[in-house]
Amino acid sequence: MSNTTDKMLDRYVYLHIEPGSLKRRPQGITVHVKLDDEGVVVDAWHEPADAVGGALASTYKTYNEMGVEVTPAETTT
């Protein structure tokens, strides 16, 4: 694989959900993806999304790990 292809693969965030955790509520799963100041956060929840018990699975990856440079946004006044 080329260096460019390697860097593109680094920009994926993977979330694995254990099959055993799906038996509790078979209605469905909601996936939340959040871009925050430091990177990407992914959470998976049973439906409904506000169900008690917390997330099924969570993961994150920083922008630095993905080879993405973050610069402040320009503001106009």
User: Is 70 among the domain residues?
Assistant: no
Which pLDDT score is estimated for 1?
Answer: 44
Averages of pLDDT over each 10 residues, the chain, 77 residues: 55 80 67 91 75 78 90 84
Any domain includes 17 = yes
pLDDT for position 75: 87
Expressed as residue numbers, the domain containing 53 is 3-62
Is residue 67 assigned to a domain? no
In a domain? residue 12: yes
**pLDDT score at 60:** 94
CA-CA distance, 42 to 57, in Å (whole number)?
8
Query: How many domains does the chain divide into?
Result: 1
- Whether residue 42 contacts residue 16, with contact meaning beta carbons closer than 8 Å, is answered with no
Name the strand (E) or helix (H) holding 9: helix 3-9
- 38 lies in a domain? yes
Kindly state whether residue 77 falls inside one of the protein's structural domains.
no
pLDDT of 34: 92
In a domain, 40, yes or no: yes
* Domain-located, residue 71: no
